[in-house]
Chain A
Amino acid sequence: MKKIVCIVLALILLLALTACGSSSKKDDASLTLTAGKLAVSAEIGYPPMEYFDADGSTPIGFDVEMMTEIAKRMGLELDLIDTAWDGIFAGLDSNKYDMVMSSCSITPSRQENYLMSKPYVQNAIELLVPVDSDITGIDSVSGKKVAVQGETTSHDYLRDNDTGCEIMDYDKVINCFDELKLGRVDAVLTDSVVAAYYLGDELDNYKVVWVNSEAEPIGITFRKGNTALCEAVEKVLDEMFADGTAAKIAAKYFGDSAGVEGIR
């Protein structure tokens, strides 16, 4: 009897906790959650978009340099928050940061729930396999193990399309490549920007056998209704594209600036 009372009390506590909504307030005069600061969330561990330098603590990458420049031009201090990808949008909902700039592909479902900027870099999902693999495209992965990063558009693609493969999802994209290297999975489905980076010095070992015809350009994600901040950021982005800053950063991380040309 005592135990039942205990369990019931525990459940009540649980429900009571969930009933307490978050109530962080936004300073109305400021564009951002904290005046003078631009809080940006990224899952750092996604080269060449956002990753740590060789020292393991300095965030670098295309997104990182882009956001640094955005914050600088807006006269704000950049506060980069490293967040797990799984849950990154939930943090936006609960006012943990102003925006997510972490290689977010623009998709209809994300646009439905969030405010997304115009694209700032081109991207599509690609299927990567070992050079000697018999997989020739997304049609021939039936019965094979395909690694994806959890809750990414690659993961969505496999869930939404009947490819017949076994989906293996990981927290970090690096684990997908580890698994491919160890031969535990047969293919990796990932963003072309990332695939190109990993293929960089592994061209002899891996090849891309399929690229989704549906492009998934990358944009910045804001809370729904936060148009003021979105517009301010878009303006700065336009400037950065007009004066060649974006192309310069792209060339630094992608080797060329093709990914950002003509995207805006």
Chain B
Amino acid sequence: MHDKTLTELAAGLQAGEFSSRELCQSALDRIQRLDGDLNSFISVTTEQALADADAADQARAAGDAAALAGLPLALKDIFCTQGVRTSCGSKMLDSFVAPYDATVVEKIRQAGGVSLGKTNMDEFAMGSSNENSFYGPVKNPWDLSAVPGGSSGGSAAAVAAGLVPAALGTDTGGSIRQPAAFCGITGLKPTYGRVSRYGMVAYASSLDQGGPMARTAADCALLLETIAGHDVRDSTSVARVVPDYSAELDTSLAGLKIGLPKEYFGDGLDPEVETAVREAIKVYESLGAKVCEVSLPHTHLAIPAYYVIAPAEASSNLSRYDGVRFGHRCEDPTDLEDLYKRTRAEGFGEEVKRRILIGTHTLSEGFFDAYYLKAQQVRRLIRQDFLDAFDEVDVLMGPTAPTPAFDLGAQKDPVSMYLQDIYTIAVNLAGIPGISVPAGFAGNRPVGLQVLAPHFAEAQLLGVAHQFQQATDWHLKRPAFGKEMA
């Protein structure tokens, strides 16, 4: 059962081959047996899951099954879940039980989806390896000595190991796509504004976007059509009709124009990753697509611009953790300033403090124009690169990350860790959608092909990914980890 896709499991439930309770119980057993080695979950909500599974079975028996009825999945622990701890991977929120559901959680629930729990992540979504979690690092099921990527590393590892068929993640600079690539699954970052951010713990509000992580593009389509859409509670969510993504998966690739950004195939790209990606592009050519080289000339400025904008927004967003209204509070504060300073010194980890300090510094008097305004100007140039490229081609393709998953503990310097996001970060600055699709291996570690499309062209992106998965079997490969357990 754990090898099946969401779509296959939905068909099995519909045909009465198994009940949602059986399905969810089997997944919960697998989590219990295997997650000690992976650490992909922070909280497993067994009782609630089984109650939800029973409710889904009853709804189905009554002829009232919604799109995701009875299907198990997991939620990155950044989404607020009423009555369940929402830690965001931080000591600061270790005791925080959310008093409300995030909009996407509400939508999953309304569609009958059954959450089995909350997945591990880099603290406040700041990281590319899942090593910055208060709850310890997550292991990559393909190789337990490797990182799963980050920040949605728990979601990616849980799907790759077959603990759940799908999970939700969030992506501020690559946090869905890079772990999807490292763990050999499919992960989509939607257009900024496509999915409501209400109830999603904020890191960098002009970049954050939630999205699906699953085995296939078809499963991502099913999840995206459930969670996307306008939300009056998120003023940046966009009032635009949500297409029937599942219905548009079979669009032919004949005549599709693919651009390969030359900046995505330069220095620093692992040769085995490059080989896998170029092979994948050949598959597209064999399916009738036309390939040409394009340029995104400001690519090298994406990481510098991001490390001004994201920490600046984070330093503002994270000012809410004051030890007064919710979350961690230090013992016996002597005065208000001591309360704030000790609470925040104790509650935040190293990387979070680093970004708060950078953000506070760059926004402070005397530095604002040189850093923040400058970065926002460069952000416009970066977005314009994509708009210009999409005048010539339909989609862009390249590697999701410059290397396969690296070893746990291998990236000690923060700046070299930041450079891991070279191919993903500009996408968030531009606000366009991107997907990572399994495209082979470098040694025993998966490689992701990244496909990018214009704003709101998720249907095209999912179709392009789905057609590849009809012609290849990389997305069907499973790690040896956990294989012995049915």
Are A and B part of the same complex?
no
